[in-house]
Amino acid sequence: MGRGLSRVAAVAANTFRETVRERVLYNLVFFAILMTASGLLLGQLSIRQDEKILIDIGLGAIDLFGTLIAVFIGVGLVSKEIERRSLYPLLAKPLSRGELFLGKFAGLVFTLLVNVAVMMAGLYATLAATGRGVEPRLLAAAYATLLGLVLVVAIAMLFSTVTSSVLASVLSVGVVVAGRFSDVVRHMGEVLPGAPRWLSEVLYAVIPNFQNFDFKDRVAYGDPVPASVLAWVTVYAAAYVTVVLAVGLASFQSRDFQ
Amino acid sequence: MKRRWAGAIVAVVFPLVPWSQSRIDTDVGEFRAQQEVLYLWSGDHVKRLFPGFEGLAADVYWLRTVQYFGGTRLYARDKSFELLRPLIEITTTLDPRLEIAYRYGAVFLSERPPIGAGRPREGIEVLSRGAARNPDSWRLRQELGFFHFLYLHDAHRAAAVLEEASTIPGAAFWLRTFAASLLAQGGDREASRRMWRQMFEQAEAGILKENARLQLRILDARDAADDLTAAVAEFERRHGRRPERLDELVRGGVWRGPLADTAGVPFHYDGQTGRVTVATESPLWRPR
Amino acid sequence: MEEAPLVVRGLTKSYRVGHIRQSLRPALTDLDLDVRAGEILGYVGPNGSGKTTTLKLLTGLLRPDRGEARFFGLALGARAWRHRVGYLPEHPYLYDYLTPVEYLDYVGRLFGMSAARRRERTRELLALVGLERASGTPMRRFSKGMMQRAGLAQALVNDPDLLLLDEPMSGLDPLGRRLVRNLILELRRAGKTVLFSTHILSDAETLCDRVAVLRAGRLLSVGTLGEILHPDVAHLEVLVGGVGEGLGAVGGVVRQEAVGERTRLEVEEGALGRVIGAVEATGGRVLSVLPVRQSLEDYFVSEMAGSGGGADAWGEG
């Protein structure tokens, strides 16, 4: 078991190294530019609105950049390996497919963690530099966003085990977008009178509800995020990620690499 | 072999998903996505965000409006009407031809609390805007006319609007006679009943139809109260005194119907004046 | 008594082809093979005969339809034998954003080797395959030949007792080919076992102790060259000088070819005497006589032609 974990760790470390070498973390540079520009340009508006806009932009960018990374790198983790066949020499080693899969997942999650952490530091720095308060509750929003990103990675990896990288990317983006409109899915009977109720219920349960991870507005308005809600959101994320990874793993395990 | 494991994990863990979801929904509320509307976004701002997809965006906003205010929560007290106006404005800016949005906004802005915001002028303004943007819509004008009468008690203005509506090609044939009868009769209640009846028939199943049905019940309750008042007078004529309580009317043979309104709340009887009215605690009560 | 490095029984695999209406295309059928310890076994066959499929089945990239294989007595699904086996895939692709040192270190971690051991082993291997000077270069800048050598290095990290090589010479220049050949021979000297697949028959002829021949997914024959090929002399190659045309008419001369001022004759075995007489009669000189045995290529061509495979067998696959 210890050997297995150290192999998973080796894969995770290499995956992190890959994302760094593939210049994924350069998105942080864009973020820094965005933050600086926003901080400077918004000096004219009133203080309260200023802060909200800054937080909105910062948290929004963390969400958006994180999602893009999670989808496109996540899909590539498996698809690229299969398409380029860099998988082949590795699978002949005493490395099981499951260890490879989980190691890659862990590596990308770690990358996202670093990404979100650096961005939050940048956001706080901008807030402080423009004379606003440093609010700990922003971390709650960042944490929730990160949970959502972990789920996106799992979904992207699942799709990439069953189909090509292009299709997997499209499907992943589709699921993420649908998940952000979960309220529409749930109440689709209002705009589509013909839609049967059981269909919206089933779709609502199955499509991951990405609105669960969105506390940006709350924290931007200064409302607290209760710990109990964060706990439930964590449970939701953990459960969903487990399910998706299990299916992805099973799919990856049984594949033939022709 | 791994397939079986995966299946087991899915079967065991997946139920946690809807379970935790329902807890989240309870704690946070189902309609979190609304607050952003209050902040800065006017209809035009929002419209610029969705070039090419205005119709779809209108649907989404419409959906959120309906979720927030409606469904079966006609009597709910915790709705915030601050969001209604902006939501309606955004929806109708995105899709100026979404008639039902104007109608909806008008009803819930005009109606008294707790059902609505109690701001009939705003409601009428919404309908006016809708009518202005949809010159072919006789229905919007019909309702605009009705609302002038029902909420602002302005029979002249109502008649004028209905007249105008009747000139639109395709308008219902009875609009003109309606307008005429408005001016001819003074009877508020009869005209009101006819208007609500019309709107009830025209509405699709849903909240607007329910509201019209409610209004008709309110009128029915008043009619019943008036009938009871007449029964009291009859009782007095026969027995030489006013009844102490309403059930005496039944025993006295002057009344055979129920003594409560259709919401189950007993009518209020003022022994001094002999008048029967709808009880103030009844959901069917309305101030005159 | 140590278990055999590899024993295969009844290994079978078919692929599904087509998107709407699927059919099964058999890639490998009922393979039985024994690899003996310390030998170099050549695995030859035309493209599409199932060589790569076999290696993928053995390394777990494909799941067999039926059959089994045992590495050192351990079942195909066991993990333990992977510590004793090395695999070089065809056209290996290693992570191009890593240097060879980093890649070999990564592989070493997968084997659970200590950091010190990994450093040492990486140095050894890069020297062995001749990549020391490129040790710090990201592999995206490697030529095909360099990548091939890096691939060999990663197959050797764990000092395996059995090596599975899929077209190890492909993409290499003559220097590279020699390096690989010597490496393989060196491995045998060290007591390792090597199974390598190739479609370059001359490599198989010169390197292998035994050869397994595959055709259309089935094992045609396996054994030493002596066992497979026709033992008898196929024909004699006679080099003569100073003769004109006309010798073609002599019975037993299969072919006549001018080589500069000389002529090379392909002569059936029994006709040697008659041909020599004819040559001398026309005033020519016999310069040399060489017996030629059936080459592996001859064997191939005849087998493929005989089965009706012919050009198809060497074509798409």
CB A210 within 8 A of CB A179: yes
Q: How many angstroms away from the CA of B57 is the closest CA of chain A?
A: 11
Q: Write the ipTM.
A: 0.87
Least confident stretch, A134-148, A186-200, B244-258, C75-89: A186-200
Set of chain A residues whose Cβ sits within 8 Å of the Cβ of B64: 183-184
Range of the domain at B74: 27-214
At which of B164, B190, B214 does a domain end? B214
Task: Write out the two tokens for B92.
Answer: 């109708």
Tell me the HSE value of C278 on the side-chain side, using a 13 A CA sphere: 20
CB A198 within 8 A of CB A113: no
Set of chain A residues whose Cβ sits within 8 Å of the Cβ of C158: 93
pLDDT score recorded for residue C175? 87
DSSP state of B82: G
Asked if B17 lies within 8 A of A212 by C-beta distance, the reply is no
Set of chain C residues whose Cβ sits within 8 Å of the Cβ of A86: 93-95
For residues B73 and B205, membership in a common domain is answered with: yes
| Sign (positive or negative) of CA dihedral C149, C153, C159, C163 | negative
For residues B173 and B254, membership in a common domain is answered with: no
Q: How many angstroms away from the CA of B260 is the closest CA of chain A?
A: 35
Amino acid C22 reads: Q
Nearest CB among A85, A94, A256 relative to C110 is that of A94
Residue whose token pair is 């952000």: A180
For residues B65 and B113, membership in a common domain is answered with: yes
Mean pLDDT of chain B: 81
Count of C-beta atoms within a 10 Å radius of residue B127: 28
For residues B197 and B101, membership in a common domain is answered with: yes
Count of C-beta atoms within a 10 Å radius of residue B201: 9
pLDDT score recorded for residue A190? 62
For residues B44 and B173, membership in a common domain is answered with: yes
- Please indicate, yes or no, if residue B1 is contained in any of the structural domains: no
What would the mean pLDDT of C220-241 be, rounded to a whole number? 81
The contact set of A with B (CB < 8 A) is 49, 52, 98, 181, 183-184, 186-188, 190-191, 193, 205, 209, 211-212, 214, 217-218, 221, 226, 228-229, 232-233, 235-236, 238-240, 242-243, 246-247, 249-250, 253-254
Task: Write out the two tokens for B102.
Answer: 């104007």
Chain C residue with CA closest to A99: the answer is C110
Question: What does the pLDDT look like over B205-226, one tens digit per residue?
Answer: 777 788 888 888 988 888 898 8
- Please indicate, yes or no, if residue B14 is contained in any of the structural domains: no
For residues B52 and B180, membership in a common domain is answered with: yes
β-pairing, B268-270 with C162-166? Answer: unpaired
- Please indicate, yes or no, if residue B262 is contained in any of the structural domains: yes
For chain B, the domain total comes to 2
For residues B195 and B242, membership in a common domain is answered with: no
Measured between alpha carbons, how far is C255 from B32 in angstroms, rounded to an integer? 92
Nearest CB among A217, A229, A246 relative to B6 is that of A246
- Please indicate, yes or no, if residue B4 is contained in any of the structural domains: no
- Please indicate, yes or no, if residue B11 is contained in any of the structural domains: no
Measured between alpha carbons, how far is C280 from C296 in angstroms, rounded to an integer? 34
For residues B232 and B143, membership in a common domain is answered with: no
Buried b (16+ CB within 10 A) or exposed e, B224-233: bbeebbebbe
pTM of the entire structure? 0.73
- Please indicate, yes or no, if residue B20 is contained in any of the structural domains: no
Q: How far is CA C42 from CA B71, B180, C77, C185, in A?
A: 76, 105, 25, 13
Q: Which residue has the higher pLDDT, C246 or B135?
A: B135
pLDDT score recorded for residue B29? 63
Cross-strand partners of B266: B260
For residues B48 and B100, membership in a common domain is answered with: yes
Radius of gyration of the CA atoms of chain A, in A:
20
CB C269 within 8 A of CB C233: yes
- Please indicate, yes or no, if residue B9 is contained in any of the structural domains: no
Chain A residue with CA closest to C77: the answer is A96
Q: How many angstroms away from the CA of A256 is the closest CA of chain C?
A: 5
The contact set of B with A (CB < 8 A) is 2-3, 5-7, 9-10, 13-14, 16-18, 20-21, 23-24, 27-28, 30-33, 35-36, 39-40, 59-60, 62-64, 66-67, 204
For residues B229 and B128, membership in a common domain is answered with: no
Residue whose token pair is 């809708």: B130
What would the mean pLDDT of B274-283 be, rounded to a whole number? 87
pLDDT band at C73 (very low <50, low <70, confident <90, very high): very high
B35: domain CATH number? 1.25.40
Query: Which chains lie within 8 Å of chain B at 3 or more CB pairs, if any?
Result: A
pLDDT score recorded for residue A80? 87
pLDDT score recorded for residue B76? 47
Q: What angle do CA C221, C225, C231 make, to 5 degrees?
A: 100
Asked if A89 lies within 8 A of C61 by C-beta distance, the reply is no
Question: What does the pLDDT look like over B223-253, one tens digit per residue?
Answer: 898 898 888 888 888 888 888 888 888 888 8
At which of B195, B214, B233 does a domain end? B214
Q: How many angstroms away from the CA of A13 is the closest CA of chain C?
A: 9
Residue whose token pair is 């209002």: A190
- Please indicate, yes or no, if residue B118 is contained in any of the structural domains: yes
For residues B195 and B260, membership in a common domain is answered with: no
Cross-strand partners of C221: C213
In this complex, is the C-beta atom of C155 within 8 Å of any C-beta atom belonging to chain A? yes
For residues B253 and B174, membership in a common domain is answered with: no
At which of B214, B242, B263 does a domain end? B214
pLDDT band at A9 (very low <50, low <70, confident <90, very high): very high
